[in-house]
Amino acid sequence: MNALEQISKSSMKENVPEINVGDTVRVHVRIQEGDKSRIQAFEGTVIAKKHGGISETFTVRRVAHGVGIERVFPVHSPAVDKVEIVRKGVVRRAKLYYLRGRVGKAAKVKGLVR
């Protein structure tokens, strides 16, 4: 194992939840404002997952005040405090970019029936 692999292994988080495309998640992000820091929650639908290993990211989309907001979160970032899965979604695509063009109930993802 070379030095780069050791560095990447040591900075990866151990307790990462299984996030899938279509899930509704609440991401708690640490925000630095001046000398103070606080936790802010961002809730939305996971529309994409990219890369793997230390550079793995997921994109979360939500609509606030009629405007679509998308944020890309690195899974192993120290700024991401925790990720809660609000509900599981059932989708048949790897990327849900088509939700960008949909409004209202058409932009919903089917839920998992247990």
Predicted confidence (pLDDT) per residue in 24-49, tens digit: 999 999 999 999 999 999 999 999 99
Q: What is the pLDDT of residue 37?
A: 96
Q: What is the pLDDT of residue 10?
A: 79
Which structure tokens are listed for 10? 């040591």
Which structure tokens are listed for 31? 């925000």
What long-range pairs does 48-55 form, CB within 8 A, spacing at least 24? 48/21, 48/94, 48/95, 48/96, 48/97, 49/19, 49/20, 49/21, 49/94, 53/8, 53/12, 54/8, 54/11, 54/12
Q: What is the pLDDT of residues 49-79, one digit of tens each?
A: 999 888 999 999 999 999 999 999 999 999 9
Q: What is the pLDDT of residue 51?
A: 92
User: pTM of the prediction?
Assistant: 0.89
Q: Worst-scoring range by mean pLDDT, 5-19, 25-39, 70-84, 98-112?
A: 5-19
**Mean pLDDT over each residue of the chain, to the nearest integer:** 92
Domains of the chain: 3-100 (2.30.30.790)
- Asked if the model's pLDDT at residue 11 lies above 70, the reply is yes
Q: What is the pLDDT of residue 4?
A: 67
Task: Give the mean pLDDT of 77-87.
Answer: 94
